[in-house]
Structure 1
Amino acid sequence: MVAPFWGPTLDCPDPVALGSFYQRVAGGSLAVVTDSFVELRFDGFSIGFQRDLNYRAPTWPDSRVPQQCHLDFMAADLDAEQELVVAAGGTPTSVQPEPSVFRVFLDPAGHPFCLTTWRTASGPPESR
């Protein structure tokens, strides 16, 4: 091993707003907060949010501006947790490829992310 994984960093126009949004969705603590960078820390990893003045939001599912990456969050009850994500500022997308297992949202900066029951007690079994 060269270096242990610490976590992804998402480009965005407002790191403080986006870090606060993901803290409402997933918990964690805001460990670093500046105008240009925010670190949302969990046990063993972090998600970073860095200011990009030229940021262009993904246009998923249209590929004109690719999504680059997306985050998945494990959910026990998709309907109940969807309500909480929307209350926190997330927006459900009009395209939901597998709504019984995945719910796709856009964060306030336009990054797609999912709530999923995959690999949880309420989701489908792991493939063998």
Structure 2
Amino acid sequence: MTATKRNKIIYWIATIWLALGMVSTGLVQLLQVKEEVEVVTNKLGYPLYFLTILGIWKILGVIAVLIPKFALLKEWAYAGFFFAMSGAIISHIATGNSFGDVAPPLLLLVLTVLSWYFRPADRKTVSVNQ
């Protein structure tokens, strides 16, 4: 198997799992599922409207990552996923939550990095030296 083919397989596996994770958690946040409301408002101390913001941005980010073209928009989506998941990890750690609470955003953070790193050339921004 060539390195290019291997990288493409890694990219699509990571990206599909990332998309599923972000869409599912985004929907849970948009629908304000009771357990999610409890965690975000009581355990982490964030306002309820934060769920709506996160849910909308996660779903829009997945669309940006999956659609063809728009490489710069993809970079922003990956950055948003990275900041949201690293923020979630830090929030859970800062409030003394268990590793079980840290594991889901940690997994999504790893998938974000893998998807970004292994993305094909046509999904990257091109840098031009002047």
TM over 0.5: no
Normalising by structure 2, report the TM-score: 0.29
Higher relative contact order (CA 8 A, sep 6+): 2
Normalising by structure 1, report the TM-score: 0.29
